[in-house]
């Protein structure tokens, strides 16, 4: 199952040659509370007005709790969404190939930055507030997905590697990606022993349930609890992680982006923390080098840093080397965040050339 109404609509927009004009207009739409730009095709405007409306079950109190949680736990959440979710995406064969063979695959750095936009918008303090942008990014992402569904079946490269899938980015594919974000993040927060209250856990789940709905996933497929999320993730995400040439190339681009932006963040350090974050199985699948110096240091230092941050141990128990790791990781997160600034999601009208 896909997203039938918007799929038909965007196919018509592409076939009419309206994509350049629509993209130009959509650049003006950046806030949840902002009216849609004047001049959009009538059929597109009508769909977008409906798609931007929150469902009746959206809970403002839970969204505010989630916003406060995102603020207080920002370094963990941005790290796990950006680095963890980004790396996991390259080990999801269908996702990696859809990214690689679509138009954005021709400019991998730009495409990687765009992939992170929605996750960062969800993690922003203002996410679903009037001056936030999750609703904007979700609706634009649905338009991009619809365009990719229309275009990718025409790509020989994608068709050759699709494993028999005739149309990409199904409801199941979107739920797989969903689990590489909130389910993975909550699992890692528990592994890292970051204290999370019941209200914070409920709020964090709710903001991602709502985001799944706004992305066009049918409510019946959205997990109602963390137990359901874990069970579904074990069913649909964990077994399908695999190595692909497209995913490995995406991994290299993802790591090079940060290494090129800051000479102090060496590839060995980035490799080691990425492997620590996603685990050795995924690290092996996506071709992360093993780093005999940095890996033991990070494995020993990061739990102590988390414990100190959460007031569980006093400062003298944190070794000096741990602060080197923390500063590097802080820069890592900030550079990931900076990569998404100024980036706009745009509807493609062609596939990757060649």
pLDDT band at 177 (very low <50, low <70, confident <90, very high): very high
**CB-CB contact of 87 with 188 (8 Å):** no
**CB-CB contact of 302 with 325 (8 Å):** yes
Tens of pLDDT, residues 105-123: 777 666 666 666 777 778 7
Give residue 310's pLDDT. Answer: 81
In terms of DSSP H, where are the helices of the chain? 4-16, 19-26, 42-51, 60-72, 74-78, 85-90, 93-101, 108-123, 134-151, 156-161, 171-178, 184-191, 198-214, 226-236, 245-261, 267-278, 280-285, 294-309, 320-340
Radius of gyration of the chain (CA): 20
Give residue 116's pLDDT. Answer: 66
Dihedrals phi, psi of 101, to nearest 5 degrees: -90, -10
The overall average pLDDT reported for the chain is 87
Dihedrals phi, psi of 228, to nearest 5 degrees: -65, -40
Tens of pLDDT, residues 241-287: 999 999 998 888 877 766 665 555 677 888 888 899 999 999 999 99
Give residue 191's pLDDT. Answer: 94
Give residue 180's pLDDT. Answer: 94
Tens of pLDDT, residues 126-135: 889 999 999 9
Please tell me the distance from the alpha carbon of residue 63 to that of residue 284, in angstroms, as a whole number. 37
Segment among 63-67, 229-233, 263-267, 308-312 with least mean pLDDT: 263-267
- The CA distances from residue 61 to 13, 129, 206, in Å, are 38, 11, 10
Please tell me the distance from the alpha carbon of residue 120 to that of residue 127, in angstroms, as a whole number. 9
Q: Domain boundaries in the chain? A: 245-340
C-alpha angle 121-92-335 in degrees, rounded to nearest 5: 40
Work out whether the CA dihedral 280, 283, 284, 285 comes out positive or negative. positive
Give residue 82's pLDDT. Answer: 76
């Amino acid at each position: 199952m896909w997203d039938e109404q918007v799929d038909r609509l965007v196919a018509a927009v592409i076939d009419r040659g309206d994509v350049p004009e629509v993209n130009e207009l959509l650049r003006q739409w950046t806030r949840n509370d902002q009216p849609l730009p004047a001049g959009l095709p009538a059929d597109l405007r009508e769909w977008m007005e409906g798609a931007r409306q929150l469902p009746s079950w959206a809970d403002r109190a839970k969204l505010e709790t989630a916003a406060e949680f995102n603020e207080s736990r920002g370094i963990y959440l941005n790290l796990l969404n950006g680095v963890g979710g980004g790396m996991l995406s390259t080990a999801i064969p269908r996702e990696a190939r859809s990214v690689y063979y679509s138009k954005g695959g021709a400019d991998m750095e730009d495409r990687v930055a765009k992939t992170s936009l929605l996750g960062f918008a969800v993690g922003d303090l203002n996410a679903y507030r009037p001056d936030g942008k999750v609703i904007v990014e979700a609706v634009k992402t649905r338009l991009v997905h619809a365009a990719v569904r229309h275009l990718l079946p025409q790509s020989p490269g994608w068709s050759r590697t699709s494993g028999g899938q005739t149309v990409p980015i199904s409801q199941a594919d979107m739920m797989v990606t969903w689990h590489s974000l909130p389910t993975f993040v909550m699992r890692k927060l528990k592994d890292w022993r970051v204290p999370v209250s019941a209200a914070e856990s409920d709020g964090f789940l709710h903001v991602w349930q709502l985001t799944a709905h706004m992305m066009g996933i049918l409510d019946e497929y959205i997990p109602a609890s963390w137990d359901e999320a874990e069970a579904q993730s074990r069913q649909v995400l964990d077994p399908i992680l695999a190595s692909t040439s497209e995913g490995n190339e995406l991994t290299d681009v993802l790591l090079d982006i940060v290494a090129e932006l800051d000479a102090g963040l060496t590839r060995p350090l980035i490799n080691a923390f990425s492997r620590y974050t996603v685990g050795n199985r995924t690290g092996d699948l996506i071709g992360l080098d093993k780093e005999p110096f940095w890996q033991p240091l990070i494995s020993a230092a990061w739990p102590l840093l988390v414990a100190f941050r959460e007031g569980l141990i006093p400062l003298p128990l944190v070794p000096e080397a741990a602060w080197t790791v923390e500063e590097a990781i802080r820069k890592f997160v900030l550079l990931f965040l900076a990569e998404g600034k100024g980036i706009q999601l745009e509807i493609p009208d062609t596939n990757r050339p060649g």
